[in-house]
Chain A
Amino acid sequence: MRRKIATLALCLLVCCGCAKRQEDLNTITLWHWMTDRQNALEELARRYEAQTGVKVKIDLYAPSDIYSQRIVASAQSQVLPDIYGILDKKEIFASFIQSGFVADLTEEFQKNVGAWEKMLFPKALDVNRFPEGNIYGVKAGIYGVPLDVTNIQMLYNKNLLQKAGIKTPPKTFQEFIAAGLALKRVGIAGLVSGWGEMWMVDCFASNYAFNIMGEEKVMATYRGEVPYTDSDWIKVFDIFKELSKKGILIEGIVTKPNKYAEQDFALGRAAFAFNGSWCVNVYHDMNSDLQYGTMLPPPINENLPMRIWGGAGSSLVVNNASVRKDKAIAFLKWLTEKDQQAYLAIETKNLPANREALESIPPILGEFASAMDLTTHPTIWPSNENGLVIEKFDKGIQSIIIGEKTPEEVAREVQAIKERELQKARP
């Protein structure tokens, strides 16, 4: 028996030892986190190999927080793949660039009078662009390639609205509250969203902050010139209080990861959802009969426009230290060409980054596409908030929703952290 075990141990050791491989100059490696796009990307990689002879290895790491940890660890160890994505704040993106992990693609984009640049949506490129004189001190230029574009809006379930006797989707926040109450009377939950993920809370709040006080005042807050206890910010917090108090939010919204929120909307458990354009694919998989439309989050202030988050859905960057840098850039260029973009749009039901590929998308995605002009995103703002303040802000909103804190209390707490961090940042 023991001899058997010893033999087995030896065999296993040999088996494991065989796994080593040599570096191959003709193989590009791409790391990503998108479980839903793995098959489509692998198929495209096969086509690319058939066309050019260059092999592309597509490695998927899920879930996305493990992916982010891996990217950070690889960056520190200087073993990033040829192509990868950065799933983090602009500030961290800037750190990657400053540490020399990301290739400057400006020249490539501007070749042939900007042929590549013109092919893609400007909004999608903005996310990857560092303008002249940015606060991060990064050399101006474009550093990433958008694979698709996205924006985050409100969706409404047509059948459920009808059931509650609502003819047209609400245009203002007051109408939205009224619709929510009408739905409640017939036993349907109003709004569902993945507010168990902090960034989605942040996104919703940010939309209304822009609508209530305008971009300039939000930026002034981030710079520390306007306090969070300002009456306009209280109004932002009040929105959550009102939604929660009137019973318009689905039960358990603060602990709902977005995938459960998507399930709720697709199965008709709530009439409105706040979700991004990637949801088209998800809803289609779950319930292909779902009848829904898109709308902007209903504005509260008529004098200022409603802005929604959007831009590049997923962007990829090229490793500056890679010996296969040129090949990697060529592959990304090919990936953003019309045919490949159309294939990706059809297979994964995401909005293509290439404008010419727009013809081939389903109508509901067209609705999303038409709102692209209204999009904004933290990555293109001139100033950004400190991560600790954001955490306090989002967690505070969750506390308002579960009814344990008032908007004023949360505003004071957020402001306290803000002042502490400002103090720290001063030399």
Chain B
Amino acid sequence: MNIKSPCWFRFQDYLKNFSFALPAILIFSVFYIFPFIEIFRLSFYEWNGITPAMRFVDFQNFAELMQDEIWWQSIGHAAYITFIALTFQNVLAFALALACDREIRMKRFYRIVFFIPPVLSEIVVGIIWQWILYAGLQDGQSIGLLNYWLVKSGLPHLVNDWLSDPQTALTCIAIVHSWKGFGWGFIMLLAGLQTIDRQLYEAARVDGASSWKLFTQVIIPMMVPVILVVVILTILGSMQVFVLVLSMVGQGLGYHTEVPVTRILSAMTGTNRFGYACAMGVNFGVILVMVSIAFRWLSNRMKQA
């Protein structure tokens, strides 16, 4: 082709531009899209995961899933953990970020320390917290540190079997999860706070605004985009929690500590229902996407307001 038309040039240009994104798209297609399609396909089969023969069952897996009380319960549990993470963890992270944003001594030290829990691996966190919350006695002394201190500080009536009491188990897991996660929120919110122009504070102060007014009318509106990012990351992270659950309570406590991912894993390896597990995965993905879209919509509304 000798005649290089503008159209040809444009095409070449697009091709070159596209080649920038190509490596990422290639890796992504191979390692994400392909497994994704496979899972989607398998969710229409009844299959034990080993035999070459699979049985196509249409939407039967999904129909069963809709009536699977335990599955919806497990989503409820994840939602509860998410709720604690959203309120307790993020409010705390915000408070700490506000405190560290001021001109105070040892600011850098705090900043380093608060991000240490997220740095640790879930194995380490699980083992240590399991020890802190351990129930049971040795030589008349509590083994778990929490119970030990409760006795020492004169509150023996509060001693509890923290991880095996359905009233407290899920909350304990949620708190440990929040403990491990609040550093993320802290660091992002702190970064957001630092982008606020100091002159705004000065101006507000000159106008005679109280700290509370400054907080609600200057800081919060400026921080809305960052808060939304933190909220969405918290939701996605908390809904998918499972390593922590397994390392703290194993398969125990009836169905009180089941979360979606542990249900998927037990359908896959415990009862050998591979297709059903894939249907659970698809269903879970749809729920998360819906939540994310809802938040995106909400954030656009708030930005406009």
Contact = CB atoms under 8 A, between A and B. Distances in A.
Interface of A: 65, 68-69, 72, 75-76, 88-89, 91-92, 95-96, 98-99, 101, 187, 189, 195-198, 250-257, 260, 264, 267-269, 387-388, 390-391, 395-396, 398-399, 402, 404-405
A387 B249 CA distance: 21
A187 B266 CA distance: 37
Contacts of A257: 250
23 contacts: A69-B269, A72-B50, A92-B48, A92-B50, A92-B272, A95-B48, A95-B50, A99-B52, A189-B136, A196-B249, A196-B251, A196-B252, A251-B164, A252-B161, A254-B252, A254-B253, A255-B253, A260-B130, A396-B254, A398-B254, A402-B165, A402-B166, A402-B253
B140 interface: yes
B182 interface: no
B48 A250 contact: no
B161 A251 contact: yes
A250 to B, nearest CB: 6
A388 B271 contact: yes
B268 to A, nearest CB: 8
Given A95-B48, A189-B136, A269-B137, A404 B254 contact: yes
Given A196-B251, A251-B136, A402-B164, A391 B266 contact: yes
A95 B268 CA distance: 15
Contacts of A98: 51
Contacts, number: 101
| Consensus secondary structure, chain A interface | helix
A254 B164 contact: yes
Contact of B250 (A196, A387, A391, A399): A196
Nearest to A87: B269
A363 to B, nearest CB: 27
Contacts of B50: 72, 75-76, 92, 95-96, 99, 101
A98 B52 CA distance: 9
Given A65-B269, A189-B136, A252-B163, A398 B252 contact: yes
Interface string B243-264: 0000011111111000000000
Contacts of A388: 271
A387 B270 contact: yes
Given A251-B136, A254-B164, A387-B270, A195 B252 contact: yes
Nearest to B163: A255
Interface string B117-146: 000000000000010001111101001000
B86 interface: no
Contacts of B52: 99
Top 8 A-B pairs ranked by shortest CB distance?
Answer: A196-B250, A387-B271, A196-B252, A255-B252, A252-B135, A251-B135, A399-B254, A255-B249
Contacts of A195: 252
A390 B251 CA distance: 13
Nearest to B131: A260
Interface of B: 48-52, 130, 134-138, 140, 143, 161, 163-166, 169, 248-255, 265-266, 268-273
B252 A256 contact: yes
A388 B143 CA distance: 36
A372 B25 CA distance: 59
Given A96-B50, A99-B52, A254-B164, 7 more contacts: A68-B269, A252-B136, A255-B250, A260-B130, A268-B138, A387-B273, A388-B271
A46 B265 CA distance: 37
A260 B136 CA distance: 11
Nearest to B254: A399
B253 A398 contact: yes
Contact of A253 (B164, B248, B268, B273): B164
A260 B250 CA distance: 11
Contacts of B270: 198, 387, 391
A68 B135 CA distance: 31
A252 B164 contact: yes
A65 B250 CA distance: 12
Contacts of B251: 196-198
Contacts of B254: 254, 395-396, 398-399, 402, 404-405
Nearest to A95: B50
Contacts of B253: 254-255, 398, 402
A398 B271 CA distance: 18
Name, among B166, B254, B273, the residue most crowded by chain A CB atoms within 10 Å (CB to CB).
B254
Nearest to A403: B166
Given A253-B164, A404-B166, A264 B136 contact: yes
A252 B135 CA distance: 6
A267 B161 contact: no
A96 B270 CA distance: 16
Contacts of B273: 387
Given A95-B51, A96-B50, A256 B269 contact: no
Name, among A72, A96, A195, A267, the residue most crowded by chain B CB atoms within 10 Å (CB to CB).
A72
A89 B48 CA distance: 12
B305 to A, nearest CB: 43
B170 to A, nearest CB: 12
Contacts of A256: 250, 252
A218 to B, nearest CB: 20
A398 B253 CA distance: 6
A91 to B, nearest CB: 8
B22 to A, nearest CB: 18
B136 A269 contact: yes
A399 B48 CA distance: 28
A427 to B, nearest CB: 12
Nearest to A397: B254
Contacts of B268: 69
B54 to A, nearest CB: 11
